[in-house]
Amino acid sequence: MEGSCLCGGVRFEVTEPFVYVGHCHCTFCKKISGGVGTTSGRARTESIVIVEGAELLSSFTPDGGSAKTFCSGCGSNLFGGGWPDVELAPVRLTAIDSEVDAKPEAHTFVRSVAAWEILPEDGLPRYEIRAT
């Protein structure tokens, strides 16, 4: 799979299928996404290859959370979960330009669903915090 940020400065590849795909509704994901949260595919860090724009990557670690990596040129959120210092890292599906085979499997951190947010009746399991 190929991915990029909004300005195109950062280009990357994910060379293996995602091991999990899910929606996260936590307060951090809301802040960085501009919406109800993030939808990410978890991949082995080794399989995430930065093709272009590594120098544009910037990270922020919120109190009590893991590092979120974004493009410093356009602000697009790209990776989370402490990438690249973890074995498995969430890749934001909004950054993937290829077709993604996997479908989301769960809604996590639904304890943080906003008053203005309506969870879809999609039959997926919902977890107060993490799924696993």
Residues that bind Zn ion (CB under 5 A): 5, 7, 9, 24, 26, 29, 71, 73-74
Which CB sits closer to Zn ion, 1 or 10? 10
Grouping H, G, I as helix, E, B as strand and the rest as coil, residue 40 is: strand
Residue ranges in the chain assigned as alpha helix (H): 27-33
Total Cβ atoms within 10 A of residue 130 = 11
Kindly report the length of the chain.
132
Which CB sits closer to Zn ion, 73 or 104? 73
Q: How far are the Cα atoms of 72, 92, 120 from residue 6, in angstroms, in the given order? A: 11, 12, 27
Which CB sits closer to Zn ion, 64 or 123? 64
Q: How far is the CB of 55 from Zn ion (least distance, A)?
A: 12
Q: How far is the CB of 24 from Zn ion (least distance, A)?
A: 3
Which CB sits closer to Zn ion, 7 or 102? 7
How far is the C-alpha of 60 from the C-alpha of 128, rounded, in Å?
24
Q: How far is the CB of 111 from Zn ion (least distance, A)?
A: 11
Q: How far is the CB of 11 from Zn ion (least distance, A)?
A: 10
